[in-house]
Chain A
Amino acid sequence: MTVEQVRLPDLDEHLPRILEGEVEAFGSWMAGAEPRLRDSLRSFAILVDVEGVVQETALRIWQTAPRFVADGRENGLLRLAIRVARNLAVSELRRYRVEPMEIDALEREARAYDPTASGVLRVPDPLLARRIKDCLERLPRQPGRAIAARVGSGGMEPDEALAEGLGMRKNTFLQNVTRARKLVADCLARHGVDLAVELS
């Protein structure tokens, strides 16, 4: 077992600092909320670009947090974020003129998601973090450079710019990122870590 299962913490503990405008506190909230937010959008994944919805939701939650009124239950801001995300996804579906009946079905499926249902949150342990770093460091030069650039950019630069910065063609860059992911997964598997299972 390389990840520890703990009860879902109350992410609202970060609220006071978020309300004071501390971006770092919002980062701490996001570290816990993002996986749940992404999981809640699974039913839309074929018709909606979930990555964009997750980010747009987080930006809106930051803006609306000062008006957030707690209902006395844990993880109120996360529950609000899941509702906002679902509404954004539905708006996208309407924009794409998806049939209302199909939208209803997808929304119903999304509503069934309960972020606290399992009562557990998988959190990585230091050993897993070290194994991932070790595997990244063992990558061949080009895949290592490509995935480091991708992760290091923090989603702020398009792949065209990252590839150019490394002197690679865009397709070569993308093939190197794919190769890096596969090599890291293989390396972790040799250490008994199945990413698909452990991080799912």
Chain B
Amino acid sequence: MRRDEQRAILIEAATTAWRPQSPSGELRPHPAWSDLDSAGRLEVYEATRVARRMEAASDPEGLSSTARAVLARLRAGR
């Protein structure tokens, strides 16, 4: 796989709202985000920003996947 393809895959992987949890339950950085350089991390930030607003815009309750992840954790007792 070419380097730019690998980088694009890392950026896409890090735009998900899923995050791993530490043993104490705290959310930790996405492994793909940790593997990116500064420019890649900024791309993740901007791509996520647009993606979440698009998700919220098309959601009947105006919720993004970030909001849905938080609400699911609250309903599950964190």
Which A residues form the contact surface with B (CB < 8 A)?
A: 23, 26-28, 30-31, 34-35, 38-39, 42, 45-52, 54-56, 58-59, 62, 124, 128-129, 132-133, 136, 150-151, 153-159, 171, 174-175, 177-178, 181, 184, 195-196, 199-200
The smallest beta-carbon distance between B29 and chain A, in angstroms, is: 4
**Docked CA distance A125–B15 (Å):** 24
Would A171 and B65 count as touching, CB distance under 8 A?
no
**Docked CA distance A200–B62 (Å):** 16
The smallest beta-carbon distance between B3 and chain A, in angstroms, is: 14
Would B66 and A55 count as touching, CB distance under 8 A?
yes
Residues of A within 8 A of B70 (CB): 30, 55, 58-59, 62
17 contacts between A and B (CB under 8 A): A23-B71, A23-B75, A27-B71, A30-B71, A31-B62, A35-B52, A46-B42, A51-B14, A52-B29, A59-B27, A59-B74, A124-B56, A132-B57, A151-B65, A155-B72, A199-B57, A200-B53
**Which residue from chain B places its CB closest to the CB of A179 in the assembled complex?**
B12
Residues of B within 8 A of A23 (CB): 71, 74-75
Interface of B is mostly: helix
Residues of A within 8 A of B52 (CB): 34-35, 38
Would A34 and B66 count as touching, CB distance under 8 A?
yes
**Which residue from chain A places its CB closest to the CB of B73 in the assembled complex?**
A59
Interface of A is mostly: helix
The smallest beta-carbon distance between A139 and chain B, in angstroms, is: 13
The smallest beta-carbon distance between B66 and chain A, in angstroms, is: 6
| In the complex with contacts A153-B18, A174-B13, A51-B30 CB distance below 8 A | yes
Residues of B within 8 A of A184 (CB): 54
Please pick, from B14, B30, B47, B65, the residue contacting A154 in the complex, using a CB distance under 8 A: B65
Would A46 and B41 count as touching, CB distance under 8 A?
yes
The smallest beta-carbon distance between B4 and chain A, in angstroms, is: 12
Considering residues A35, A42, A154, which has the most beta carbons from chain B within 10 angstroms of its beta carbon?
A154
Would B67 and A34 count as touching, CB distance under 8 A?
yes
Would B54 and A132 count as touching, CB distance under 8 A?
yes
| In the complex with contacts A27-B67, A178-B12, A49-B78 CB distance below 8 A | no
| In the complex with contacts A23-B75, A35-B53, A52-B28, A155-B16 CB distance below 8 A | yes
Would B19 and A200 count as touching, CB distance under 8 A?
no
